[in-house]
Amino acid sequence: MESTTSELKVSLSTKDLVIYGVTFMIPVAPLAFYGSFLTPANGMVSLAYLVGMIAMLFTGFSYATMAGRYPFSGSVYTYVQQGTTAGLGFISGWGIVLDYLLIPTITYLITQSFGKSLIPGIPGWVWIVALVLFNTTINILGVNIVTKISWALIALQAFVLLAFVVGTVSALIHGTIHPNVVAFYNPAHFNFQGVLQATGIVIVSYLGFDAVSTLSEETENPYHSVGRAIILSIVSIGLLFVFITALAGFVAPDYQNLNPNMAFLGILDRVGGSWLVKLADITIILSFGFASGQEGQTAVSRILYAMGRDGVLPASLAKLHKRY
């Protein structure tokens, strides 16, 4: 592609960055992962999410500090390179590249799994190929298109979660379920080691906040906006995870009886019925496959761009298209 400029287009606000970070961390993630957390946490999933949020905030504040000092696209690659040596920066750059290759891989496999469950007739490889082609095309068109799709997918996820909240509140009002604290404290089976074990898995749901820092050169007022967006995205998604899983504890305090592979879908069926389960299926497919997959590609392309610009990878990676 022809290179006609050495700078990325500046167009993103703090609000856009927060939406980008939150979308990457996937608000409906508990719907897919909930069953994996129940057994090690003994039902105390909200506590595991809360501990995970607090732990991630330490890293988030570190990122925010470095983003204010070095507002460039390379994220942790740039921070380590500028703060220590070029060699350590190179190693860090490859480490974060592997991270952003792993995250879309995981999300594509989750999409494939839910996609085959929703439409058994479509082979799993078709889902993955379609996702890769679509996400690559969207990323070529530019970060503004990615941002617009992020807003649309956030709206869809918000609708599903709101429907779950409304269904849960309705069940509370009618007395078919009752408030409890099992998601935070289960006195019959309390084991903080188990909570920490679940937190080690829960942490995966917070990966992606650092992707905000890869958009520094495309952000208005990056010295303040990037750090603020990182912290806001961690806190907002963390509180949402805690709240949603606390309500799940209201609906299903008998968590041992849930199917681990479809635990949250079973909870949705209790409060909303089959239509909400189907909508949640579709939302999980779109959110994991398109939102997280797209933004993983967006983030890794900016890191490769920064490494190419610095000459530690082929310079062709730092070429910018005159339009996109």
Q: Concatenate the DSSP letters of all residues of 261-284 into one string.
A: GGHHHHHHHHHH-HHHHHHHHHHH
Mean pLDDT value of segment 64-87: 89
Please spell the DSSP secondary structure of 188-213, one letter per residue. Answer: TS--HHHHHHHHHHHGGGGTTGGGGG
Q: Is the pLDDT of residue 223 over 80?
A: yes
37-41, 162-166, 188-192: lowest mean pLDDT where? 188-192
Quick: pLDDT tens for 287-303: 888 877 777 788 888 88
**Residue scoring higher pLDDT (46 or 261):** 46
| Dihedral angle over CA of 310, 316, 322, 324, nearest 10 | -90
pLDDT tens, 173-202? 999 999 999 999 988 788 888 888 888 888
Mean pLDDT of 104-133: 85
Please report, rounded to a whole number, the percentage of residues in the chain having pLDDT higher than 70: 98
Task: Kindly list the domain boundaries of the chain, sorted by start residue.
Answer: 14-318
- The overall average pLDDT reported for the chain is 87
Distance CA 145, CA 138 (A): 7
What number does CATH give the domain 14-318?
1.20.1740.10
The pLDDT value given to residue 310? 87
Q: Name which of 301, 229, 216 is nearest 17 in CA terms.
A: 229
Local confidence band at 252 (pLDDT 50, 70, 90 cut-offs): very high
Partners of 12 in the β-ladder? 219
